[in-house]
Structure 1
Amino acid sequence: MNVETRLHHYHPAAKTFHWLVAALVFFVWPLGFLLDLVKSGVHNDFLFWHASLGFTVFWLMLARLCVRFLTETPAKPSGMPAWLSGTAYLNQWLLYLALISQPLIGFLLVSASKGMFTWFGIIPIPSPIGKSPAVAHTLAEIHQFLAWTILVLIGLHICGALYHRVIRKDDTLARMT
């Protein structure tokens, strides 16, 4: 990759983590939403995939954050107003925070509900809190609130990308593709 390309695009690892997390979130979020709607016979299957893939999002986000701190971030498009740049920056970091917090809260929720979380049915992850229905209820409310928050943040993120592509006609979207 030449210097010119590197300065205008995110690192290939950052792009990979971005799109992997996006794909997983668009799969995990509906699974979580459907948990309350599916019949009891398939509820555990939905929960298995929701929890296992959600926990995968946590690890991918940590890796993504490492890449973010270890690689160069491309410059913002010229002429971008400070308020727009600040809004994009805030939305991006709120997404990072939410996409790291949400799987952790989900892990604690499964731990408080079931007493043990086994990642993909293979790797047991010890519960730091043990089985606790009262804590599970509170964690479920936080988890649901964060799920809707993530949806709003992603919606704003997509609207921002479209705004740059369609209205401003700058290369913001191309930096991550």
Structure 2
Amino acid sequence: MNNLPEGPLQDTLFNYHKSFGQLIWFIAVLRIANRWIDGAPVPVPTLTAFERQASHVVHILLYVLIFVLPILGYLGTGAYPAPLTFFFFDMPNIVPAFMKNEATSGNLLFAHKVAGITLTVLVSLHIAAALFHALIKKDGVLARMTGNAG
């Protein structure tokens, strides 16, 4: 979006980006609370030790990034300062005054970008692993992930 010329289209896309980011953060908080209350499912017995460990690490990283990514975006935007909106509603800017400068904003938004790229890579690995289990191992992991396990 930064490559778009400044103007109404870029503003609209940034506003939707920020709004959907906040919505995803709220859903992620609910999901993390649900996971904390219900606990993690027992690993499928057919998983190797490496697969169990990789699954555990990737899931932790996914949850951390899904939680932290929108916070970095909010802080980076609030430090700029750019308008903080949720769809068509103004949001309060609770970023502390000492953080409100271009350098801090740039650093936070860079961290937001790196976290976003990392999340994209991890989601891609997660999808690849799910397809591996569905198409090659045929061990029911994908069915379990989608709630279709018998």
Q: TM-score, normalised by structure 2?
A: 0.87
Aligned counterpart, 1:39: 5
The 5 Å alignment of 1:132-147 reads 132-147=101-116
Offset at residue 57 of structure 1 (A): 1.2
> RMSD of the TM alignment (CA)?
1.6
Name the % identity: 27
Give 1 or 2: higher helix fraction.
1
Aligned twin of 1:24: none
Decide whether the 8 Å contact of 2:77 with 2:109 is kept in 1: no
Task: Name the CA distance, whole Å, in 2 between partners of 1:172 and 1:91.
Answer: 15
Q: 2:27 pairs with 30, 54, 60, which one? A: 60
Structure 1 gaps, min length 5? 1-34
Distance in structure 1 (CA, Å) of the matches to 2:90 and 2:121 = 32
Cα distance in 1 between the residues matched to 2:120 and 2:40: 25
Q: Pairwise mapping of residues 136-175 of structure 1 onto structure 2 (< 5 A)?
A: 136-175=105-144
CA drift of 1:127 comes to 2.3
Do structure 1's residue 111 and structure 2's residue 111 form an aligned pair? no
The aligned counterpart of 1:121 is 88
What is the alpha-carbon distance in structure 2 between the residues aligned to residue 133 and residue 107 of structure 1?
A: 14
1:104 and 1:128 mapped to 2: Cα distance?
A: 11
2:80 alignment partner, SS class: helix
- State the SS of the aligned residue for 2:85: strand
Q: Distance in 2 between matches of 1:125 and 1:102?
A: 19
Q: Distance in 2 between matches of 1:56 and 1:44?
A: 18
Specify whether residues 73 and 134 from structure 1 end up closer, same or farther in structure 2 by C-alpha distance, changes over 3 A only.
Answer: closer
Residue 44 (structure 1) shift: 0.4
Stretches (4+) displaced over 4 A: none
Higher relative contact order (CA 8 A, sep 6+): 1
Instruction: Read off the aligned partner of 1:68 and give its amino acid letter.
Output: R
CA contact (8 A) 1:99 1:150 kept: yes
Q: What is the distance in 2 between the residues matched to 1:84 and 1:73? A: 15
Provide TM-score, normalisation by structure 1. Answer: 0.75
8 Å contact from structure 1 (residues 108, 129) kept in 2: no
